[in-house]
Amino acid sequence: MIKKELLWAMKASSVASETQKSSFDTKFRCLSYFQLMNKGSEVILIFDIGKSNQKFFLLDRNFCTVDQGQTEAKELLDDEGDPIQDLDGIATWIAKVMMDCMRSEKHHLSGINFTTYEPRLVNLDEDGQRATPHYSCDKAFPYPLFEEFTLRYNDGGQRDLTSGSPGIGLINSGFQLYWLKYRKPEMYRKIRWALHLPQYFSYLLTGIPVSDYTSLGCHSALWNYDTQKYDRWVTAEKIDHKLAPLLSAYTSINTMVFDRRMTVGVGVSESSARLLPYLSAVKKPFILVLTGTWCVSLNPFSGDQLSVQDIARGGLYYMRIDGEQILANRCHLGFEFERQIEKLARLYNVSIKKIKKIQYNPALDQTIRRAKERYFHFEGPGVEEARNNPLPDHFKLKQAYHQLMVELVDIQVRSIKSIIKKTDIRKMFIEGEFVHNLLYSKMIARQFDGFRIYTSEAPAGAAFGAAIALAPEWWSKKHFKNYYQLKRVK
How far is Cα 145 from Cα 233, in angstroms, rounded to an integer? 14
DSSP letter for each residue of 112-159: EEEEESS--EEEE-TTSSB-S----TTSPPPHHHHHHHHHHH-GGGHH
CA distance readout (Å), 219 to 88, 243, 344: 26, 16, 35
Residue 464, CA atoms < 13 Å, CB-side half-sphere: 25
pLDDT of residue 117: 87
Beta-bridged to residue 212, according to DSSP, are 247
Are 217 and 317 a contacting pair, CB within 8 Å? yes
Are 428 and 455 a contacting pair, CB within 8 Å? no
Do the two domains 118-253+262-266 and 269-456 of this chain adopt the same fold?
A: yes
Cβ-based neighbours of 61, under 8 Å, separated by 6 or more: 41, 42, 471, 474
Burial-class residue 202 by CB neighbours within 10 Å (0-12, 13-18, 19+). buried
**CATH architecture group of domain 1-114:** 2-Layer Sandwich (3.30)
**CATH architecture group of domain 118-253+262-266:** 2-Layer Sandwich (3.30)
Q: What confidence category does residue 10 fall into, taking pLDDT thresholds of 50, 70 and 90?
A: very low
Asked if the model's pLDDT at residue 23 lies above 70, the reply is: no
The type of residue at 262 is M
Q: Which has the closest alpha carbon to 435: 358, 480, 487, 481?
A: 487
Task: Tell me the pLDDT of the chain averaged across its residues.
Answer: 89
How far is Cα 330 from Cα 461, in angstroms, rounded to an integer? 18
Average confidence (pLDDT) over 349-371 = 96
pLDDT of residue 34: 38
pLDDT of residue 458: 82
Are 275 and 285 a contacting pair, CB within 8 Å? no
Are 402 and 364 a contacting pair, CB within 8 Å? yes
Q: What confidence category does residue 145 fall into, taking pLDDT thresholds of 50, 70 and 90?
A: very high
Are 167 and 139 a contacting pair, CB within 8 Å? no
CA dihedral 162, 236, 201, 267 (to 10 degrees): 30
How far is Cα 27 from Cα 22, in angstroms, rounded to an integer? 8
Average confidence (pLDDT) over 156-184 = 91
Asked if the model's pLDDT at residue 70 lies above 90, the reply is: yes
Sign of CA dihedral 259, 261, 266, 271: negative
The type of residue at 392 is P
pLDDT in tens, 296-352: 999 999 999 999 999 989 999 999 998 999 999 999 999 999 999 999 999 999 999
DSSP 8-state symbol, 378: B
Question: Strand, coil or helix: what is 76?
Answer: strand
Asked if the model's pLDDT at residue 25 lies above 50, the reply is: no
Cβ-based neighbours of 316, under 8 Å, separated by 6 or more: 164, 165, 166, 219, 306, 328, 329, 330
How far is Cα 153 from Cα 147, in angstroms, rounded to an integer? 10
How far is Cα 276 from Cα 424, in angstroms, rounded to an integer? 20
Identify the helix (H) or strand (E) that includes residue 308: helix 308-312
Q: Which has the closest alpha carbon to 206: 242, 257, 163?
A: 257
CA distance readout (Å), 390 to 141, 334, 347, 383, 387: 36, 22, 11, 19, 9
pLDDT of residue 154: 85
Number of other CB atoms surrounding residue 367 within 10 Å? 14
Asked if the model's pLDDT at residue 269 lies above 90, the reply is: yes
Write down the CATH number for the domain with range 269-456.
Answer: 3.30.420.40
Q: What confidence category does residue 24 fall into, taking pLDDT thresholds of 50, 70 and 90?
A: very low
How far is Cα 281 from Cα 287, in angstroms, rounded to an integer? 14
pLDDT of residue 384: 62
Q: For the chain, give every domain's residue range.
A: 1-114, 118-253+262-266, 269-456
Burial-class residue 118 by CB neighbours within 10 Å (0-12, 13-18, 19+). buried
Asked if the model's pLDDT at residue 258 lies above 70, the reply is: yes
